[in-house]
Structure 1
Amino acid sequence: MLVQRVATVALWSATLLTLALLVLIIVFVMQRGLSQVTWDFLSQAPSRSGAEGGIWPMIVGTLYVTAAGVLLATPIGLGAAIYLAEYTAEGRVSRIIRSGTESLAGVPSIIFGLFGFAFFVTTLGLGWSILSGGLTLGAMILPTIIRTAEEALRAVPREFRHVAQSLGASKWDAIRTVVLPVAAPGVATGVVLGVGRAISETAAVIFTAGVALEMPTSLFSSTRTMSVHFYTLTMEGISDEKAYGTAAVLVVTILLLNIMAYSLMHRMTRRYR
């Protein structure tokens, strides 16, 4: 009993410490940044130096690059997860794939940025663009989506598949109509984690999407994300106030996306129970 109580206290302490750090970071950023967040700040373009004006092109660029990365990584990651969970037995091939996925997850983001610059920007000739940034972010969040989706698929009881197939459904029909809907909340969790990492990424984006202050007009336009913008404002000593304002908007954006995503997941969970 004593060991159980000590373990419970330790786990609760770790949880509360994590929440306290999260609240501390959010409060720190909001206290310094919310005073800068006005309608003009959200709706106007910045000046050429970035010291004046707003961050509207950065908001649009962040959403475009993140959406491109998620839209590219999700079908590939889900397909790989379905193959690993449903179509291959435990063996050398599956171990090699999982080992490669785990190794890819441990690669630093700066390496992804250098790879994206060398391959997408230079070799493929895509230049600094939303497409280059999206492809790089897609490669970076792919391991998260694969591992999370695979675990969600494996968590679906085998009996669900057997019942569907006993009623005449093919293997793919059983996966498509039974397994995937039940595993959808877990798959969505992996996508949300990918979005959270992609939307706040700096190193991988600055080498691929660029640092242009103008409003992007196509997938081949260079753009500057919010994370790159406040990094530039801070590191070059342009404006700490604008940097904190940009950070506050980025934090609020991430929180809103997570709230909407988890709300959708809970709806899906209740639907398929």
Structure 2
Amino acid sequence: MNKNSTLYCPKKSAAQLRNRQRKAKLFAHFCAAVTWAGAALLCVLLYQVSMDGFKWLDLQFFTSFPSRFPHKAGIKSALVGTLWLITMVAFIAIPIGVATALYLEEFSHNGRVNRLIELNIANLAGVPSIVYGIIGLAIFVRGLALERSLISGALTMSLLILPVIIIASREAIKTVPMSIRHAAYSLGATRWQTAWSHVLPASFPGILTGVILALSRAIGETAPLIMIGALTYVAFLPEGPMDSFTVMPIQIYNWVSRPQQEFHELASGAIIVLLAVLLIMNATAIFIRHKTEQKLK
């Protein structure tokens, strides 16, 4: 070994260590600054929305249909349409997404077809939402002649969130220890019994986290629904999957596009209601996840 390197290496190492620590502190401060800047901006937006929207939140706002007159306008049809849509999306997307993830992780072979499917799922997760709107318009609205109905919107939004549910579910299934599978096999369980009775319950909290994120995205999307022709003015309540509909993001978009200040304030009130629906939905899912984790323990 070189004598000079032996003599000076400790000093260089100490200097490099101090340099790395200094860079780490700077990076930590930068991340903290970005985080607090984002939180401050969110607080400003929520404050502005609250100041404009809370004064419109009364019984008439929830029980009235949209109107050309601000003081008579409400979100009844949009709120009911949103609940209809998100319920149908959940019944369509969650079983398909979780079943696909379970198949890819527990039953499929690591071959070329499987790798191709995984690559496509990863790519679909990053596709802009407007592309799903074009697909829904071509396949469901025109191809299958479902028209501008709730089922067309639900199928389109299900396509949008399926990659997110599949990826999150696969990651949750991967975290299940192999010892659980081996224990089930040693007791004579089949692969299906092991996956259904042991792997799936153990991964349920992680799967539910992915479902929360996916449904949160679906409830706030506007572009795909506009693309398939969801109405901006609906003065009736949908009674079935084949009825026309509107949702709260589209109603908010409609009000914001109007020049009157009152409609902008109505849009702020609708944003508050949409956030409340989203928080209630997420809180319910988190509560179910917490109870499931306690049972598993």
Shift, 1:229, TM fit: 0.3
Q: Does 1:85 align with 2:105?
A: yes
Find the aligned partners of 2:81 and 2:69 in 1 and give their Cα distance: 15
The corresponding residue for 2:283 is: 259
Deviates more, 1:260-269 or 1:123-132: 260-269
Kept in 1: contact 2:181–2:199 (CA 8 A): yes
Q: Supply the AA of the counterpart residue of 1:22.
A: L
Q: Relative to structure 1, is the Cα distance of residues 27 and 260 closer, same or farther in structure 2, using a 3 angstrom cutoff?
A: farther
Kept in 2: contact 1:209–1:223 (CA 8 A): no
Shift, 1:19, TM fit: 3.5
Q: What 5-or-longer segments of structure 1 have no aligned partner? A: none
Find the aligned partners of 1:21 and 1:90 in 2 and give their Cα distance: 46
Shift, 1:14, TM fit: 4.3
Q: Relative to structure 1, is the Cα distance of residues 251 and 45 closer, same or farther in structure 2, using a 3 angstrom cutoff?
A: same
Find the aligned partners of 2:205 and 2:45 in 1 and give their Cα distance: 28
The corresponding residue for 1:269 is: 293
Find the aligned partners of 1:174 and 1:134 in 2 and give their Cα distance: 32
Shift, 1:71, TM fit: 1.4
Find the aligned partners of 2:208 and 2:102 in 1 and give their Cα distance: 14
Find the aligned partners of 1:65 and 1:22 in 2 and give their Cα distance: 27
Counterparts in 2 of 1:1-273, with a 5 A limit? 2=21, 3-47=23-67, 49=68, 51=70, 52-208=72-228, 210-211=230-231, 212-213=233-234, 214-237=236-259, 239-273=263-297
Find the aligned partners of 2:104 and 2:33 in 1 and give their Cα distance: 37
Q: Percent of counterpart pairs with the same letter?
A: 34
Shift, 1:13, TM fit: 4.0
Instruction: Compute the TM-score of the two structures, normalised by the length of structure 1.
Output: 0.92
Deviates more, 1:192-201 or 1:239-248: 239-248
Deviates more, 1:154-163 or 1:13-22: 13-22
Shift, 1:269, TM fit: 1.3
Q: Relative to structure 1, is the Cα distance of residues 177 and 21 closer, same or farther in structure 2, using a 3 angstrom cutoff?
A: farther
Q: Supply the AA of the counterpart residue of 1:93.
A: V
**1:67-96 Cα shifts (integer Å, max 9, x gaps):** 112211111111110111112243322221
Deviates more, 1:107-116 or 1:194-203: 107-116
Q: Relative to structure 1, is the Cα distance of residues 176 and 41 closer, same or farther in structure 2, using a 3 angstrom cutoff?
A: same
Find the aligned partners of 1:266 and 1:18 in 2 and give their Cα distance: 28
- Secondary structure, aligned partner of 1:218: coil
Kept in 2: contact 1:29–1:244 (CA 8 A): yes
> How big is the alpha-carbon RMSD for the aligned residues of Structure 1 and Structure 2?
1.9
Shift, 1:256, TM fit: 1.7
Shift, 1:154, TM fit: 0.4
Find the aligned partners of 1:183 and 1:15 in 2 and give their Cα distance: 30
Q: Relative to structure 1, is the Cα distance of residues 178 and 11 closer, same or farther in structure 2, using a 3 angstrom cutoff?
A: farther
Shift, 1:196, TM fit: 0.4
Find the aligned partners of 2:77 and 2:279 in 1 and give their Cα distance: 20
Instruction: Compute the TM-score of the two structures, normalised by the length of structure 2.
Output: 0.85
Find the aligned partners of 1:176 and 1:114 in 2 and give their Cα distance: 36
Shift, 1:38, TM fit: 0.8
Find the aligned partners of 1:118 and 1:37 in 2 and give their Cα distance: 39
Q: How many residues align?
A: 272
Find the aligned partners of 1:154 and 1:172 in 2 and give their Cα distance: 16
The corresponding residue for 2:12 is: none
The corresponding residue for 2:14 is: none
Q: Relative to structure 1, is the Cα distance of residues 237 and 123 closer, same or farther in structure 2, using a 3 angstrom cutoff?
A: farther
